[in-house]
Amino acid sequence: MFLFVTWDAILGKYYLDKFCEADSGTYINSYARIAGIYFAEKPREDIAQAFLDRGFDFIEVGEKGSYRRYF
């Protein structure tokens, strides 16, 4: 009766142990610096300034082919 309630936990632990042995490893994620960002919305200087303060070099904001670039 005790195993009736916990049988899935026992099988789950077995599965996870085998999965970790087979597919585990060290993964190295690289980071790339992004110089600018584009928003498809109406240009607003307060939003652009907020992102420029976070470290972007420029922000492009605009709609339908015309955009404004903030430095």
| Full domain range(s) for residue 60 | 34-71
pTM of model > 0.75: no
Q: Is residue 11 part of a domain?
A: no
Residue 50 lies in a domain: yes
Query: Is residue 63 domain-resident?
Result: yes
The reply to whether 22 falls in a domain is no
Q: Which tokens sit at 39?
A: 């928003």
pLDDT in tens, 7-52: 666 777 777 777 777 666 666 677 888 899 888 888 788 888 888 9
Does 62 map to a domain?
yes
CB contact set of 3 (below 8 Å; sequence gap of 6+): 10
In a domain, 43, yes or no: yes
> In angstroms, what CA-CA distances link 22 with 1, 13, 14, 26, 28?
33, 14, 13, 13, 18
Report the domain count for the chain: 1
